[in-house]
Chains A and B, each alone.
Chain A
């Protein structure tokens, strides 16, 4: 089975702050990491490969600037077999739709049986790219995967987290799942893995030139991105609410009405 994991390099948002004047991210000095959900996806892929133990492979793919190379090397050092960086100036400015269009083209080029993406990236939080890739590829998908295993006949069984329950779903390959970070605790890179990631493995580039047969120029980059950011702003922290305890129904109604009156809501 060829398992392909789509990963994104993101700023470590636990260390990111917004510029209060421009409302843009201050990225200076902020370390870049593999998006946590995606990293759980890598771990899952490695575990599936180890469990299957049938010559299955794990490929990691990322779309981004050259700096994303190090995220792919990290995945290689964790044990992935091969890595692809989809990168081209023509892809710059892509929103989720254009991004998923390009990644889907990349996946067609690379080949896949099972595609794993993270649920969502911590810098954008859209949770759109994974499902969109499945739609572009015309393959079944299960999002919010918390557990996954593969049956002897190749059926992919996924436990999907839902608001108030779980769904156990089965799919035939080729298919796609989006991984929650709860899916698996990522392993560390191994020492030899760190060396092999540079000495024995390579990050292969896929540019527009490599994918142009599969892409419509009007569907990629800024031109292919219908999303426009209308406004961005820093959310003001709300004050703590008031809690009324142990009141009778009548007293509670009176207290709420008094509060609404005080704030001129009524």
Chain B
């Protein structure tokens, strides 16, 4: 076994760390307070290839792999989870299914500009009545000649407000249950497609989370992704893969919180001592470090398995379950070490605590991860 990153991954990590610290961190508080998408950062991510990390160069990508993409999510999340979720939804949930399930034409038409960052992607699966129960899709797609007509709505869609390309999951044949669900590539300008209400959230406040509305939305037949009836499977595989990204996000948020807190406890004095001198502080930080390292190993293992063509769905679920739980726990405990100052918005720790919570919810709640893991254990 070798637990070290390859030289190219180390170089990439160095680049990402410096990019995150210099370009992303200074904006994090403002983006959260103003609930605005950091478009200037998206533009910079495009310039340096961060929006197309795991895809081959022939499709406009950077020729990297899942681990490289994971390192990007981790480093960005240390300083700004809003920024990392923009990248995660774009890469894992939109570009990736086109890469894995798209035809050559679809890849040329959609993946190339997505991977180059010329277009931004999003993914629409969740509906008001179909969250964890994703099979309960109400959005319908009916084939009429050379196009499908989509009707229905999606909610909680990340990047929705500014994305150009959407993967939309819809029911093509209700009688077949999950085998009657299909996936489509939908452009924001297709007739009948519109973006609805913008959600006000507890955390990742700069990310654009909106409703999508399809009213007689016309989608050309050639924009069916994969075969008709394979949409549920595409969505589940997309989430399997996406989960590694969210696990990395949770990991990064926790690591970022620990880093900030170490800086704080070294400065803060009470009882004429730096609070870092108290054993409670030391033990808390030591215990959190151990949890974060365990989370990192799980996240990297899942990425490694995917990159090596091994089954990784359960590994992604394990990584996300543990990393998300750790992120929430670590940020809460870090805030406690800050005391009252941590509760103010002058310090980043309350933002990190709010941001951490979503990692236990989106791309499969922690309970869904447990279902996936239990199913892998063949416990019925």
Contact = CB atoms under 8 A, between A and B. Distances in A.
Interface of A: 70, 73-74, 77, 187-199
B8 A192 contact: no
B341 to A, nearest CB: 27
Given A190-B62, A191-B48, A191-B53, A197 B18 contact: no
B57 A74 contact: no
A70 B68 CA distance: 18
Nearest to A73: B11
B53 to A, nearest CB: 5
B interface majority secondary structure: helix
A247 B183 CA distance: 83
Contacts of B47: 190
B19 A195 contact: no
B63 interface: yes
A197 B7 CA distance: 10
Interface residues of B, number: 21
A198 B5 CA distance: 14
Nearest to B9: A194
B210 interface: no
B4 to A, nearest CB: 14
A188 B7 CA distance: 17
Contacts of B48: 187-191
B42 to A, nearest CB: 15
Given A73-B7, A199-B8, A194 B15 contact: yes
Given A195-B62, A195-B63, A188 B18 contact: yes
- Which among A73, A190, A194 has the greatest number of chain B C-beta atoms within 10 A? A194
25 contacts: A70-B7, A73-B7, A74-B11, A74-B14, A188-B48, A189-B12, A189-B14, A189-B48, A190-B47, A190-B48, A190-B62, A191-B48, A191-B49, A191-B52, A191-B53, A191-B68, A191-B72, A192-B49, A192-B57, A192-B62, A194-B11, A195-B63, A198-B7, A198-B11, A199-B8
A189 B53 CA distance: 13
A195 B68 CA distance: 10
